[in-house]
Structure 1
């Protein structure tokens, strides 16, 4: 609100404060209804129930949750829920999450997700959806796991892959660069001994690390609340982000160790190759079309860290890169995501639905010809959705939220 707010703003602010005090908050935090269709060790696959009066259309979408983050990232609150958006369009929507990680799970490594969790989830979704191929959408580490799975297991029914804020070149992450000399000096042993003793990265540490990446917003949060007391949607978003942060989970010990040594210390994935359980996974072997989105204000996965994957996907049918507004969580489910990230994902998924059904190559905005489909190599228009790699979506409200 301005220094001298208008009477209408004062009335709105008073109403918001009353709502908060009397009812505990302004955000509609009801989860979208869902049904468990498959489960295993740290694997729960859910199908979101269709809306009664909306016709089902297209191939299914599987949302891949990153480790340590709750599945709330995809279903933050009503009005800012990617799940609600997909279901509202009639898209068959599924999600894989991992439940609570305990000390008992400390021996599980990345292999568990690449060999078991994601392949089983993809097959379960495909079967539940009538044998159709599956569009994978992964945020943060969920996107990296989805990409590694697509590169390693070519027999899976994958229609396309969408990466949202997935950093491949961690040397470009500002919060990591200053720490690397200290880690190298100690040979990484301090952290190694700590995660072995604890059996992984406990929830309080994970929560603190996530908050540390946006410490400036934590410091200025009280002022931001005062300035937006009349904005119920802004306040509701803050409430939903706080709930998300409070529900962070732990990393299993061996998985955390692999991420620490191979991603953080050695930055191996920037080469496009990762040795895992006696084999080498090469990102050049990904054949599915891949959409890559980076958040303009993302401190965990900045643009250069995310864009590094584009040149590694030499075997993909098509690769597109786009910059969207928001921080690490905001680019997925901030208020500006409704008109940017979700638009990108919609166009990409719709395009590759059409390709699977053999639709004409000139399918409108956002639809480009896959390799070998047509002698006409003009490609998509520069104004098509996602076609311009330099395109940016800007939003001051998204930058203010940052979450």
Structure 2
């Protein structure tokens, strides 16, 4: 039997909507010695990570901690811990990931009420507020930034309406936290989930989340049913109201992250080191400075794309700052372009899903990948590939347009 070959990982410039490149300082942190999960040195790191999450998520919530698993694990933990069979859940969907919220809700036994808008647009807040009044849901669950369409949904008015109508507001902010402003408390978000593999620039494998006292009250009620402290009229009804998952039970997980240190699971030690370092680097850079970096690189990328004569997809008024969607020129095989970018330039951009499959490319400017050199190299490589395929575009204009943006931003900084 032949032994396994030595691991070979090619160097890539990753310009997708996730995963993205990881800051070398995060990788270095993840190589530190393993500690026992109840070692005081490790529990101190747990506490510091919670504090870092509160600051990055802009919340005063007591509970802000990661789920061990990808961002989808965090979404499932949040929804399965608060949704009971028969609960009405309103899901306004403007891309692929609204459908994911609906599928998980259905598996929890929730009664899904979906509203849709055309891909490439988002909802007017009044549309969602009207749906809240009509359906009277227990939960409104929606995506903040949907990478499948490259759009971002304004949330503040929706959060206020949810509080006014006494329904919980759950937000998937996987693609936005760390790359653009997400105000958990100010927007009255009751439960928020994000992921490490996008703007936090940490390897995939953890799903930070936070929730307030309104959700904690539901968790404690369902926990008391589990412990047999509440006797309903029917034993079967109480059985149905139990949190079905053990691993994704937030009532148990918060005890693991509390001073009680419930022995719920074995913590992913090295992954937590990475999350801690990722949060530390975000706070070191400064939230507003980080958001400005993402805006600047987005502007430069867009300027270069337009200088090539390519068309951006979607309503520009609700463009997601961390993802740029580009319409594939007529007569061009988008997968051929992606393959050439990867094979000849070691640059990866993404295709898309559903009705947009084969129609757009998605270029991410997220976290550590969101750098000037990456933007310039991506524009130069895309131009070269399109010229190679005999697409009629103005040669040399894309990089120059992006450089003009960077020069203008530097001028504005000096002027101020």
TM-score, normalized by the shorter chain, greater than 0.5 = no
Asked which structure has the greater RCO (Cα within 8 Å, sep 6+), the reply is 2
- Structure whose alpha-carbon radius of gyration is higher: 2
